[in-house]
A and B are shown apart, each in its own frame.
Chain A
Amino acid sequence: MPLVKNGRITTDLFVHVADGAELPGDGDILISAERFLADPDILSRRPGKTGVVWPNNRAVDDLVPYLERLAAVALVFPTFRDGRAYSQARLLRERHGYDGELRATGQVLRDQFVFMSRAGFDAFEVKKDADADAFAETMKRYSVFYQPTGDGRLTALNRRMQLRHSESAGQ
């Protein structure tokens, strides 16, 4: 499954480690929320980076105390129809100021890329190769956005107000 990060297909340096499986001695790992919360000291014990796979039915509040030390948070789309992780992503980015890797996992398809990126995701475990190849192209689909989110894109309203100001300044 290709990983898209910073807009490009890249090698995934993180290894998903299943619950109960032995942790590798070094290297970057992604572990479940349960495993992490049972032993948060793992952050300082291992040489590699740690990321957490956070389920979409648990409030992100429980993760907040650790955000500064986490290298990645992976949110889950069990099916593309289940949009809970969009809210979690915005809360992590916009309310809790998380600025590490925010990864979309599960059924991640091309037609969600723009929504996900706007909600704050910057890494994508893409289901289909063809979708990963089309990432850059897909991100160019839209140039107009109506909602202010943490992604910093100017909204249509901002642009209209700017236009108004520049027009009235020119008079």
Chain B
Amino acid sequence: MYAYDELDRTLINERVSEFRDQVKRRLSGELTEDEFKMLRLQNGVYLQLHAYMFRVAIPYGTLSSKQLRRLAHVARRYDRGYGHFTTRQNIQFNWIKLSELPDALAELAEVGIHAMQTSGNNMRNVTSDQWAGVAPGEVEDPRIWSEILRQHTTLHPEFSFLPRKFKIAITASEHDRAAIKVHDIGLRLHKNADGETGFEVLVGGGLGRTPFIAKTIKPYVAGRDILSYVEAILRVYNQYGRRDNIYKARIKILVHELGIEKFAREVEEEWKQMGHGALTLDHSVVEEVRSRFSYPPYEKLPHMPDELKQAAHDPLFERWRKNSVAPHKVQGYSIVTLSLKPVGGPPGDATADQMDAVADLADRYSFGEIRVGHEQNLALPHVAKRDLPQLWKALDRIGLATPNVNLVTDIIACPGLDYCSLANARSIPIAQELTRRFANHDTAEMIGRLHINISGCINACGHHHVGHIGILGVEKNGEEFYQITIGGRADENAQMGALIGPAVPYAEVADVIEDIVEAYLALRDRPEELFVDTVKRLGVEPFKERVYATR
């Protein structure tokens, strides 16, 4: 956990007072809606179809039990008793009243939570691997650098009015769980030949209506230089990024129009001129931030405790363990993923009661710590293996032990037309229907790892381009239609999915997905070949033939 000090707390409180004043001026008419819009967005407040939506940051996906309880309280007191975890380590409340927002923010500020960097044309919440600090084989804990970047970009005086939003993600593992290749800046921690920690810097990735995979702009930037290098990228973007067309304003378009080589030269030139100034991070400064991350006092525990051996006889426990429990860097411990994808439920939602219960379980079994991942699930990062059977029972009682992590029903979806004013089509009911179609666990397990991503419009909040199966809602003559892509992925081998055929109407989507999955089961050359690998080996055609032959 990162412990905020007096300075961090003061800044958050000052932000709350500022926003309270801004809301007051809006309600009195002193601020026009146009003027207020940017100010509220910079505090995570959107105007949606039915009400204001309030997005709260969970930097690099780390929460304490105390913080989660406060989120539950906000859901109960200011909303309708639930919250929605997003694909960028935020939580959204959909039914908040503008006049009550300052109070909600003040209550969150008491536990070090804020809504800065959750919206607006500025730096967004810096995201990272939800297993940071506990994943085996990690170069080092990427949250140290996430926090350094978070602080540096918070209320940045130069970059708070960029051409468009700006997202950074950091990973320190070989397997990228932070989707860094679809971010404006992706940072991959690694060590150079001398054993020094630094970053491969990628730039210009993103989804939306013009998707791009990020390109490497510099293979190695030393840790001490990362702030200045990021600042150089931002300065080039702030000055030359397009402001004439909102759809061409992201850095990916600038990188694409200039070409990565020319863009890299511009950044290099700027970076050189910045010199080794105030942004260079001394070792002691990095250590100062590092020292405020605390790690649990792990016990020395056996690799395979008796409790786990006994529980292995229970097939229901075993099927949950197989897909929800991951190896921990410390022997005797596990990382446990809590599925927020129950059959028939909206992906990523949690009720206030569930949040409170998870906070209690975190206190009992995970040193009071909870993680939030971009797949819209939660995780308990430090669970002793001997506690797994009891934890499983407790999770099952609160509906958080659905054994579908990474399976076909572990669907990522945006809120879609049910909530969002930008959407063209519904996402949640499609996800709900698919979870019912694939509710049989044995079938799901036979299918294996398969990520379905659903977006209700071209803005791609459900990351449909990088779903193994991607579903994109579009509007045709006033009706909801869905384009379907296959073969996308968001990890270290990120790529965009390919369109499988013409868009299909709402009522047919689940049938088509079932057909695609059946085609895969027939086409894979062995049970271990994942869906996405079969698509890679065979291309789209054989799937297209099978799925569209009868349509």
Q: Which residue numbers of A lie inside 8 Å of B, CB to CB?
A: 59, 80-84, 86-88, 90, 95, 109, 111, 114-116, 118-119, 130, 141-149, 156-157, 159-161, 164
Q: Which of A59, A109, A147 contacts B157 (CB 8 A)?
A: A147
* Contact code string B1-31 (vs A, CB < 8 Å = 1, else 0): 0000101101100100110001000000010
- Residues from chain B with a CB closer than 8 A to the CB of A80 are 35, 38, 161
6 closest Cβ contacts across the A-B interface? A83-B161, A148-B278, A118-B157, A144-B11, A115-B157, A146-B151
- Residues from chain A with a CB closer than 8 A to the CB of B238 are 83-84, 86-87
> For residue A77, which residue of chain B has the nearest CB?
B161
- Residues from chain B with a CB closer than 8 A to the CB of A84 are 238-239, 243
- Residues from chain B with a CB closer than 8 A to the CB of A82 are 161, 243
Besides A86-B161, A87-B235, A90-B157, 4 new A-B residue pairs in contact (Cβ under 8 A), listed by A number: A59-B239, A118-B157, A146-B156, A160-B288
Contact size range, B: 35 or more
With A156-B8, A164-B288 as contacts: A141 and B38 at CB distance below 8 Å: no
Q: Establish whether residues A144 and B14, one from each chain, have CB atoms under 8 Å apart when the complex forms.
A: yes
> For residue B162, which residue of chain A has the nearest CB?
A83
Q: Nearest-CB distance from B163 to chain A (Å)?
A: 8
Q: Which of A81, A86, A111, A159 contacts B158 (CB 8 A)?
A: A86
Q: Which of B226-253 contact A (CB under 8 A)?
A: 235, 238-239, 243
B152 proximal to A (CB < 8 A): yes
With A115-B160, A157-B285, A160-B5 as contacts: A87 and B239 at CB distance below 8 Å: yes
Q: Establish whether residues A141 and B243, one from each chain, have CB atoms under 8 Å apart when the complex forms.
A: no
B331 proximal to A (CB < 8 A): no
> For residue B274, which residue of chain A has the nearest CB?
A95
Q: Establish whether residues B7 and A142, one from each chain, have CB atoms under 8 Å apart when the complex forms.
A: no
Q: Establish whether residues B35 and A86, one from each chain, have CB atoms under 8 Å apart when the complex forms.
A: no
Q: Establish whether residues B7 and A159, one from each chain, have CB atoms under 8 Å apart when the complex forms.
A: yes
Main secondary structure of the interface of B (DSSP, over half): helix
A119 to B151, CA, bound (A): 17
Q: Which of B10, B11, B38, B288 contacts A81 (CB 8 A)?
A: B38
- Residues from chain A with a CB closer than 8 A to the CB of B278 are 148
Q: Which of B14, B22, B284 contacts A143 (CB 8 A)?
A: B14
Q: Establish whether residues A161 and B285, one from each chain, have CB atoms under 8 Å apart when the complex forms.
A: yes
Q: Nearest-CB distance from A89 to chain B (Å)?
A: 8
Q: Establish whether residues B17 and A161, one from each chain, have CB atoms under 8 Å apart when the complex forms.
A: no
Q: Establish whether residues B11 and A95, one from each chain, have CB atoms under 8 Å apart when the complex forms.
A: no
Q: Which of B271-291 contact A (CB under 8 A)?
A: 273, 277-279, 284-285, 288
Main secondary structure of the interface of A (DSSP, over half): helix
B121 proximal to A (CB < 8 A): yes
- Residues from chain B with a CB closer than 8 A to the CB of A86 are 157-161, 238
Q: Establish whether residues B273 and A95, one from each chain, have CB atoms under 8 Å apart when the complex forms.
A: yes
Q: Establish whether residues A148 and B279, one from each chain, have CB atoms under 8 Å apart when the complex forms.
A: yes
- Residues from chain B with a CB closer than 8 A to the CB of A130 are 30
> For residue A159, which residue of chain B has the nearest CB?
B7
- 21 A–B contact pairs at CB < 8 A? A80-B38, A80-B161, A83-B161, A84-B243, A86-B158, A86-B160, A90-B157, A109-B35, A115-B155, A116-B157, A146-B11, A146-B155, A146-B156, A147-B156, A148-B277, A149-B158, A156-B8, A159-B7, A160-B5, A160-B288, A161-B284
Q: Which residue numbers of B lie inside 8 Å of A, CB to CB?
A: 5, 7-8, 10-11, 14, 17-18, 22, 30, 35, 38-39, 121, 151-152, 154-162, 235, 238-239, 243, 273, 277-279, 284-285, 288
- Residues from chain A with a CB closer than 8 A to the CB of B243 are 82, 84
Q: Nearest-CB distance from B244 to chain A (Å)?
A: 11
- Residues from chain B with a CB closer than 8 A to the CB of A142 are 11, 14, 18, 155
Q: Nearest-CB distance from B288 to chain A (Å)?
A: 6
Q: Nearest-CB distance from B271 to chain A (Å)?
A: 13
Q: Establish whether residues B14 and A90, one from each chain, have CB atoms under 8 Å apart when the complex forms.
A: no
Q: Which of B30, B157, B160, B235 contacts A149 (CB 8 A)?
A: B157
Q: Establish whether residues A119 and B161, one from each chain, have CB atoms under 8 Å apart when the complex forms.
A: no
Q: Which of A111, A119, A149, A160 contacts B7 (CB 8 A)?
A: A160
- Residues from chain A with a CB closer than 8 A to the CB of B161 are 80-83, 86
A23 to B38, CA, bound (A): 39
A116 to B39, CA, bound (A): 16
- Residues from chain A with a CB closer than 8 A to the CB of B152 are 146-147
- Residues from chain A with a CB closer than 8 A to the CB of B38 are 80-81
With A87-B235, A156-B151 as contacts: A119 and B158 at CB distance below 8 Å: yes
- Residues from chain A with a CB closer than 8 A to the CB of B157 are 86, 90, 114-116, 118-119, 147, 149
Q: Nearest-CB distance from B354 to chain A (Å)?
A: 34
Q: Establish whether residues A141 and B18, one from each chain, have CB atoms under 8 Å apart when the complex forms.
A: yes
- Residues from chain A with a CB closer than 8 A to the CB of B279 are 148
A142 to B17, CA, bound (A): 10
- Residues from chain B with a CB closer than 8 A to the CB of A159 are 7
A156 to B12, CA, bound (A): 13
With A80-B161, A149-B158 as contacts: A161 and B14 at CB distance below 8 Å: no
- Residues from chain B with a CB closer than 8 A to the CB of A149 are 157-158
- Residues from chain A with a CB closer than 8 A to the CB of B277 are 148
> For residue B241, which residue of chain A has the nearest CB?
A84
> For residue A160, which residue of chain B has the nearest CB?
B288
> For residue B157, which residue of chain A has the nearest CB?
A118
> For residue B21, which residue of chain A has the nearest CB?
A141
Q: Nearest-CB distance from B59 to chain A (Å)?
A: 13
> For residue B231, which residue of chain A has the nearest CB?
A147
A118 to B160, CA, bound (A): 12
Most interface-central of A86, A90, A95, A147 (chain B CB within 10 A): A147
Q: Which of B151, B154, B155, B160 contacts A83 (CB 8 A)?
A: B160
Q: Nearest-CB distance from B424 to chain A (Å)?
A: 26
- Residues from chain B with a CB closer than 8 A to the CB of A116 are 157
- Residues from chain A with a CB closer than 8 A to the CB of B154 are 146
- Residues from chain B with a CB closer than 8 A to the CB of A147 are 152, 156-158
> For residue A85, which residue of chain B has the nearest CB?
B161
A115 to B157, CA, bound (A): 4
A143 to B151, CA, bound (A): 15
